[in-house]
Structures are given as structure tokens and as C-alpha cells.
Amino acid sequence: MTSPSSSESSASFEGATSFEGAFDTAVVGRWAAPGRVNLIGEHTDYNDGFVLPLAIDRDTTITVGVRDDRLLRVASSFEAGVHEISLDDLDTTQMSGWSAYVFGIAWALQQKLGAQGTDAQGSDSQELTTAAGLDIWVDSDVPVGAGLSSSAAIECAVAVALTDLWHLDVTRPFLASVGQLAENDAVGAPTGIMDQSASLLGRADSAVFLDCRSLDAEVIDLGFSAASLELLVIDTRVEHAHATGGYVDRRVSCERGAREMGVSSLRDLDVDDLPRAAEVLDDETFRRVRHILTENRRVLDTVRTLREKGPGAIGALLDASHASMRDDFEISVPELDLAVATAQATGAVGARMTGGGFGGSAIALVPTTARDAVTAAVLAAFAAAGYREPTVFAVHAADGARRV
Ligand code: ADP
Ligand code: MG
């Protein structure tokens, strides 16, 4: 983190556990953005498909002070050190580590809004070229690396804060694309737009039904509380890394499948195309493609089932989604399979791994009355298998990013 424009200084940070401990400026406001869980629709986002995430009642909160120069300075309870960069010198090659999530948002806003301060919709009043620098303290109760998108939470908290402080006239879907650009180009993780959309557009007791091709988003009533259902997150504490390994490999498989099927994206295919895919594709690519096509179908079926029959009827779709990720897409791990199987066997309506895979969390939709029994059974099963103790907690669908 040492470079001419992005540097770390520990002097002012020693022992800092708050904004006041790290910075000298006066606080002008606080903004919060939630993590998310994806109810269903996994790895479909970068295939132009459908996803159904919900914002959760776990937030990243940023506290901001306005500076009289053009520096952005950031510190977090997550890791010691103050990082800084000049607004006149925002360059992704100077960004690394966690501060890239923050600086990347400022950079992506500049990229998308342009030097003239005009966005794609032609709105103006942007003040990017003269905006004041900021001191930003980051605090979070979104577990990091658990598949609950602490990354989108930090990006979206910063995005809504900069929008307010710099008087930008932009929409939330636009901010989601800003978050994605920051994560792709400043952080270097080739992720889709789902996480930011959930964090920005989420509503209490609702999910966000997102078409990742048109970017149309619709808030869908979940009705969990009325049905006395709760969503349990089982964080296996098996770490995953988005920028490397299996995630990238699965993207490549999907691109190959689309190319060999003669379409620009797997969204152009439906489950009816599976017999032809079985003839055209090698076995592994076929199974990757089958997961995407059936998962898109399951998202649509989940939305319809929620509307017509309510949340108690979506369990089989969640279970089928997990089986597809385990067997066809091969992104589960034994800890996730055990969490899901145990929840299913002890009264869950349905359960599946959630997030990119290779670790992270599973979700289980459980009757409130079965919550303690499912939790105890999962803990006991992990202990018996000799796995690290998982963290099990309930989440509730919550409102998206906001000023606090
Ligand atoms: P996930 O989004 O599933 O939690 P990611 O690997 O996508 O996992 O993002 C986690 C990274 O985001 C962390 O390693 C860190 O760089 C950054 N991050 C998340 N929350 C914070 C925070 N509160 N303070 C600083 N950095 C954070
Ligand atoms: Mg993430």
C-alpha cells in the first residue's frame, strides 16, 4: 500500500477503534449498506440470467468527515492502518488491499460520469472535478468472506455517501453498475451485478428479482414473517476467494458452452435446449450448462411460487438448486453439503448453499419453531465430522443502502 498516491500511515491510527480515533475532521454523516444472501439463482448473473437475492439486517456503516483538500483517507475496524489517495490521481494500478473497494468507487464514478460531469442519461450538476476530499471510517457487522457480500456492502455504503456528499444526480441501478465496475477493475474480482443490486434495492421482508440482462429489478414480497418462517445462515467458515480458482474456471466453462451452442450467452438457451446441448458439448461443459439453464428456470419458478402459494412452497426449489450446484456445477464442499443435508433432515422447508461456492455459507428456510433444533443439529453434525464449528444465525430481509 506504499506508492506515491496511495499510502499507509499508522501514526494517526494507533489504537483507533472509531472515526475520532483515526481522523481529526468533524463528522458530517453516516451511511449504511447491507450484505445480502441469495435466495436462489447462483452463477446465473454473469450468464445474463435471473437472480433472487435479499438485503439482510447486517450492515457496513461508514462515518464521514469532509476535508479541505482533495484527499480520500480511509480506515476500518477490519484492519489497522489509514490509506489515502488523491481525487486528482485516482488510478486503479495504485489501489490494492481492502481500500480498493472504497477508492474504486470514487474512480468508477469518475469513469462513468466523465470529466464533464455528465452521466449516460445526460444529467449534470456533478461536482467530481471540484469535490472535497473525505475521511471515511468503515465499521461492519457483515461477516467478511462468508458469502454474504461484505464487499458489496462496503462499496454501496461508499457509493450512496459519495452520491449525497458530491450532489450526484444518479439512480440506484446506476450505482450498482458503479459498484460492479469498482469490484471488477479496481479490486480485480470478475463478479456480476447481483450483490450491489441487492444491497442498493433491497426492501424489508422482500427479495430483489433481477434480470441480469435487461437489469430490470422487481421487489418481490417474501412473506417469511407472516408464515412464521426464518432464514438461517450457516457460515461454514471455509474461506472462498472470488478473484481466483474455481469461480473464474466456471465462468470460462459457461462461455465455452455458449460459444459451442452458437449463442452469445447462456441466457439465450432454455431447458428445452438441453437435449441438443447433450449432443454438442463434452460431459463436463454440459453439466455446467445444465446447472445454469435449470437454475434460471428455478428462479422464475420461485418467484411464481412465492406469488401463488407463498414461501412455504419453495422448499423443493431450494433443495434442487443445491443438488444442481453440488452435482452439475461442482462448486459445493463437504461442509456445505453437510449443513444442507442436516437442515433438510431436521425440519427445514428447504436448504441450499449460497454465494459463489467453494466455501462460505448455506441457507436454510426453517419454521421459527424448528430454528433451535436445526441449529443444534448442524452444530452436532459438524462436531461429529471433525469440521470447524460453523456460525449459525438468522437473517431478515431488510432495506437497502441509506443515510443513517
Ligand atoms: P464477501 O463479499 O463474500 O464477504 P469478498 O472476498 O468478496 O467476500 O470481499 C471481502 C473483502 O472485502 C475483504 O477481504 C476486504 O478486502 C473487503 N471488506 C469487506 N468488509 C470490509 C470492512 N468492513 N473493512 C474493510 N474492508 C472490508
Ligand atoms: Mg464479495
> Phi and psi at residue 321, in whole multiples of 5°?
-60, -45
- Give the number of whichever ligand sits closest to the CA of residue 150: 1
Residue whose CB lies within 8 A of the most ligand 1 atoms, among 36, 101, 184, for a mutation test: 101
Least confident segment among 3-17, 282-296, 385-399? 3-17
Residue 330 CA to ligand 2 centre (angstroms): 20
- 3-state SS, residue 237: coil
Residue whose CB lies within 8 A of the most ligand 1 atoms, among 30, 62, 150, 156, for a mutation test: 150
pLDDT digits (tens, 9 = 90+) for 84-125: 999 999 999 989 899 999 999 999 999 999 754 444 454 444
CA proximity to 43, closest of 257, 200, 239: 257
Decide: 324 in ligand 1 pocket, CB within 6 A: no
Nearest CA to ligand 1 atom 22: 78
Which amino acid type is present at position 291?
H
DSSP character string of 41-86: --S-GGGT-EEEEEEEEEEEEEEEEE-SSSEEEEEETTEEEEEEEE
Q: How far apart are CA 338 and CA 345, in angstroms?
A: 10
Domain ranges across the chain: 10-217, 223-394
Decide: 100 in ligand 1 pocket, CB within 6 A: no
Domain 223-394 bears CATH identifier 3.30.70.890: yes
Whether the predicted pLDDT of 2 surpasses 90: no
> Predicted confidence band at 13 (pLDDT cuts at 50, 70, 90)?
low
- Share in percent of the chain as helix, strand, coil (round to 5): 40, 25, 35
pTM of the complete model: 0.90
Residue 364 CA to ligand 2 centre (angstroms): 20
Whether 29 contacts 106, CB under 8 Å: no
pLDDT digits (tens, 9 = 90+) for 120-143: 454 444 567 788 999 999 999 998
Residue 19 CA to ligand 1 centre (angstroms): 19
Nearest CA to ligand 1 atom 27: 98
Residue whose CB lies within 8 A of the most ligand 1 atoms, among 103, 138, 154, 361, for a mutation test: 154
DSSP character string of 145-163: TSSS-HHHHHHHHHHHHHH
Whether 78 contacts 98, CB under 8 Å: yes
Active site residue 195: yes
Pairing of strands 134-140, 50-66: antiparallel
Mean pLDDT of 337-354: 98
Nearest CA to ligand 1 atom 17: 98
Q: How far apart are CA 57 and CA 52, in angstroms?
A: 17
Q: Which of 59, 139, 195, 319 is catalytic?
A: 195
Ligand 1 atom closest to Cα of 240?
A: 6
The CB-side HSE value for 270 (13 A sphere, CA atoms) comes to 3
Decide: 147 in ligand 1 pocket, CB within 6 A: yes
Q: What is the rounded average pLDDT for all residues in the chain?
A: 92
- CATH node for 10-217: 3.30.230.10
pLDDT at residue 5, rounded to an integer:
41
